[in-house]
Amino acid sequence: MTNSSSDSSLFEGPDFSSSAIDDELDDELDDELDDELDVEIDEIDEIDATPEHANRVTGGTAQAVLEHIARQIVDDPEAVVVDAGPGRNGLKLSLHVNPSDMGRIIGKRGRVAQALRTVVRAAGARDGQDASVDIVD
């Protein structure tokens, strides 16, 4: 019969419990994760490099503001149509309403129309656009 301590010495293989292997594996995993994170950070930087309003319609804010306010003022909101096109100095918005609502949109002495133009111009400035409003029959 042999001693149990001598049996273990006969089949002695690599020491898998050593911290050297664990440290080596940890270093490899850390390197792989760092490489993946570097790629993800580069992709985020590319996204940040695109213009801030790349997906937006030119003058979209001004058009949406005009349409919303006009629909709140008139009696027939379904008849409100806003057409956008190029103007002399920027964006030209044409507001079409039901003829019976024309007085409500223009207001006394044109004060409602002037207020609309002012608010829409400010909304256009937010997008970096010069917006003007024409009220069409």
Reported as a single tens digit per residue, the pLDDT across 42-52 is: 555 555 555 55
Q: Is a pLDDT exceeding 60 seen at residue 75?
A: yes
- Assess whether 36 and 94 both reside in one domain: no
Does a structural domain hold residue 3?
A: no
- Count the neighbouring beta carbons within 10 Å of the beta carbon of residue 125: 14
For residue 69, give the CATH number of its domain: 3.30.300.20
Its domain, for residue 44, covers: 15-49
- Assess whether 37 and 80 both reside in one domain: no
Does a structural domain hold residue 5?
A: no
Does a structural domain hold residue 54?
A: no
Q: Is a pLDDT exceeding 70 seen at residue 16?
A: no
Q: What is the largest CA-CA distance in the chain?
A: 118
Average of per-residue pLDDT values in the chain:
79
- Spatial contact of 90 and 129, defined as CB atoms under 8 Å apart: yes
Q: pTM higher than 0.85, yes or no? A: no
Confidence of residue 13 (pLDDT cuts 50, 70, 90): low
- Assess whether 94 and 124 both reside in one domain: yes
Asked which of 1-5, 22-26, 74-78 is least confident by mean pLDDT, the reply is: 1-5
Question: Can you tell me the distance from the alpha carbon of 26 to that of 34, in angstroms, rounded to the nearest whole number?
Answer: 12
Which has the closest alpha carbon to 128: 65, 52, 46? 52
b/e 40-60 (16+ beta carbons within 10 angstroms → b): eeeeeeeeeeeeeeeeeebbb
Backbone φ/ψ region at 130: left (φ over 0), alpha (ψ -120 to 50), beta = beta
Q: What is the pLDDT of residue 119?
A: 95
Q: What is the pLDDT of residue 12?
A: 61
- Assess whether 69 and 123 both reside in one domain: yes
- Assess whether 103 and 83 both reside in one domain: yes
Does a structural domain hold residue 30?
A: yes
- Count the neighbouring beta carbons within 10 Å of the beta carbon of residue 37: 10
Does a structural domain hold residue 83?
A: yes
Reported as a single tens digit per residue, the pLDDT across 83-97 is: 999 988 899 999 999
At 92, give phi and psi (nearest 5°). Answer: -110, 120
Reported as a single tens digit per residue, the pLDDT across 104-137 is: 999 999 999 999 999 999 999 988 889 999 999 8
Confidence of residue 15 (pLDDT cuts 50, 70, 90): low
What is the total count of domains within the chain?
Answer: 2
